[in-house]
Amino acid sequence: MKTHLVCCILSAVAVVTACGNQNGKQAAGNGMPVFLDDSKTMDERVEDALSRMTLEEKVTVLHAQSKFSSAGVPRLGLPEVWMSDGPHGIRPEVLWDKWEQAGWTSDSCTAFPALTALSATWNPEMSRLYGKSIGEEARYRKKDVLLGPGVNINRTPLNGRSFEYFGEDPYLTSRMVVPYVQGVQGNGVAACVKHFALNNQETNRFTTDVNVDDRTLYEIYLPAFKAAVQEGGAWAIMGSYNLYKGQWNCHNQYLLNDILKKEWGFDGVVVSDWGGTHDTKEAVENGLDMEFGTWTDGLKSMASNSYDSYYLANPYLEGLKSGKYDMQTLDDKVRRVLRLMYRTNMDKNRPYGSFASPEHAAAARKIGDEAIVLLKNEGVLPIKDAKKILVVGENAIKMMTVGGGSSSLKVKKEYSPLEGIKERFKDADVEYERGYIGDVGGEYNGVSTGQDLSESRFAEQLLKDAVTAAKNAEYVIFIGGLNKSDHQDAEGADRLSYSLPYSQDTVIEALASVAPKLVVVNISGNAVAMPWADMVPAIIQDWYLGSEAGHSLADVLSGDVNPSGKLPFTIGATLDDYPIKTAEQYPGVPGEEKRLGTNMATIMNETYSEGIFVGYRWFDKEKITPVFPFGHGLSYTTFEIGEPSMVGSAERGITFKVSVKNTGSVAGAETVELYISDAECSVERPEKELKGFAKVFLEPGETKVAEITIDKSALSFFDAGKHAWVAEKGDFQALFGTSSRDICRTVKFTY
């Protein structure tokens, strides 16, 4: 079996020199070939390397040679490119041609909180720490490309992969993705931002053809990708499985060539999602640069090497030789791959990285601490001087780092909520009852949790035992929600219901009837129905927090950490509260048949007829009261937001200054959220849109001034007819609050 070997660049110098200078190229003045000379610009080195490559070598670097690597050019000392799934941790090694584990004993990583949790911090500095830390882990494991982060918008709470994304708002997602990308790439590892674009569901993800107007595309679904490219400087973008305008998005003319490469000036590589390439001609002409995952079941193509049969392999090579495809397009793709190499594994100043370190565990815990959202608290939290605590719920003990799809991890250690609570409240009598039977499995792609979650009691007895124990407890902490099994928070299939699975609502309501100090901790990657919200005195929105999950939850429950997380999505009462109402909107209706690999598949036509009204925009438009609004999150202290002041102009930029005072007795943080409202416009606009935020940390009694600056872009909408952003003259309002529904200050201004 082949092993993960990266060519040694320095030793390759002698090989290149011995081969002579091809195509009449002269060596650099110091005797070193230009493409290996660090004193030359990247463009000079790329062009020199390109000129030395044969046609076969150029094609070779455009497609996979194994599950997670593409070939280099050993003759020239150009290294292989190695990739790894993220975005929450570095995936364990798999075999060269198969998904099965390679059996390494040194690939147990740090699991960081899921990206929805990161978004809930509303703190770009946490995102930078996250990117830096996971980038160090990727670098140590000799990965050149990290397949993440994901920035698709939560259009429906049923999306099984929402936990991998940043929530429902394009502005919040944009502000959080930029420092993540910069943090990763500071380690000489490319962030591969995914899934470009309109990949907002798992059901029918290979066959959904999205119909969406340009205004909605540009205002809701593209901003985070654009920010990652133009502000974050992302070196790689991954196409998505679905279709748009009748073309698969891994080779889509409008998305990849017209928008990404031409309009945005993206100079990195476009990587296919694994199995997302379907045609050589489209792949060549419509923007794909590197192909992965085609025929992923080994030698199905009956070729001696299945990778040579990829669409961008021998079929492309033969087309080039016959004159079917032009050399200019080929060279553009190869330049992008070479540029990726020079930015990653050809950079001699690249850091070495670190792996599963105490510093990374501390970073995961810090991010998790700041991500947890206190949704409701009627004097129950924080827990102080408790004598007897009952913990109920399967999610208190179930490992959550294994499963869920490609983000599944093998971790060095995962602290469960029950472990964290027992460790923190060691002076209390902490008991546990399961309460319900959920998912007793614990294996994904050969990684096993090692947990025995089998249960001999029936559901009725589990409920009875939990209620009996709750009657004798001082505090009851129910820890439930979703998990990483199919049709929950998992890749490949969406949720089947907005409600909690496994009859958890019944358990919570029964506990509420006997436990006056009940805390419900919901672990999920998206909104869930909470019909018991009025019955429960304290509710926490927890997340998949990775290795330090139990510690972070205990930190907040105990008050060692004052919660400061804010919801990155809206929690409605029922699924009917959300804008998706028809089969045409989701999951799509059958259309034409199209070839998918070696088979024919029915394409599902889906229309985003809700347009720009996603998340809180829809709730505002329809005057629907959410259970908990976008941006909501409580604290163990209280804050006072002062009157904002304004300097500057909308044309040149406005800076708002807002005083924030901690009026309570506990140190804490508040996030000031700025929404812009355009009451009169030639097009329909949302009631308000998030356009700025600032998180302020304050000691008791302390006052600080939060500054938020906006420019004309905050006032603009996308005019599809002009294909341009337009800010119309008139009156606007700057709305300041602590959630989309808690607006406490307003400033009027004119543009």
Phi, psi of 275 (to 5 degrees): 90, 15
C-alpha to C-alpha distance for 587 and 583, rounded to whole angstroms: 6
Which residue matches tokens 């929402």? 162
Which distant-in-sequence residues (6+ apart) come within 8 Å of 651 by Cβ?
712, 751
Give the 3-state secondary structure of 620-653. Answer: HHCCCCCCECCCCCECCCCEEECCCEEEEECCCE
DSSP structural state of residue 109 = B
SS3 151: coil
Which residue is catalytic, options 85, 169, 273, 620? 273
C-alpha to C-alpha distance for 572 and 157, rounded to whole angstroms: 10
C-alpha to C-alpha distance for 388 and 381, rounded to whole angstroms: 15
Contact of 571 with 579, CB cutoff 8 Å: no
Contacts 24+ apart (CB under 8 A), 348-351: 348/9, 348/38, 349/188, 350/139, 350/187, 350/188, 351/136, 351/139, 351/186, 351/187, 351/188
Q: How many CB atoms lie within 10 A of CB 702?
A: 12
Q: ω into residue 382 within 30 of 0, thus cis?
A: yes
Contact of 248 with 278, CB cutoff 8 Å: yes
SS3 122: coil
| Bridge partners of residue 672, in order along the sequence | 694
Extract the tokens encoding 722.
Answer: 């002009």
C-alpha dihedral over 368, 366, 108, 239, to 10 degrees? 60
Asked about 267 being catalytic, the answer comes back as: no
Which residue matches tokens 């919660």? 563
Contact of 64 with 327, CB cutoff 8 Å: no
Task: Give 115's Cβ-side CA count (13 Å radius).
Answer: 32
C-alpha to C-alpha distance for 479 and 524, rounded to whole angstroms: 11
Contact of 502 with 515, CB cutoff 8 Å: no
Phi, psi of 294 (to 5 degrees): -70, 140
Nearest-10 crossing angle of helices 124-140, 358-371 = 150
Extract the tokens encoding 484.
Answer: 């990483």
Helices and strands, counts by H and E, the chain: 17, 29
Nearest-10 crossing angle of helices 549-558, 417-424 = 50
Contact of 280 with 311, CB cutoff 8 Å: yes
C-alpha to C-alpha distance for 677 and 286, rounded to whole angstroms: 38
SS3 541: strand
Contact of 411 with 111, CB cutoff 8 Å: yes
C-alpha to C-alpha distance for 283 and 268, rounded to whole angstroms: 16
C-alpha to C-alpha distance for 549 and 468, rounded to whole angstroms: 28
Helices (H), 69-222: 115-120, 124-140, 170-185, 214-216
C-alpha to C-alpha distance for 436 and 453, rounded to whole angstroms: 11
| Bridge partners of residue 659, in order along the sequence | 705
- Residues designated catalytic: 273
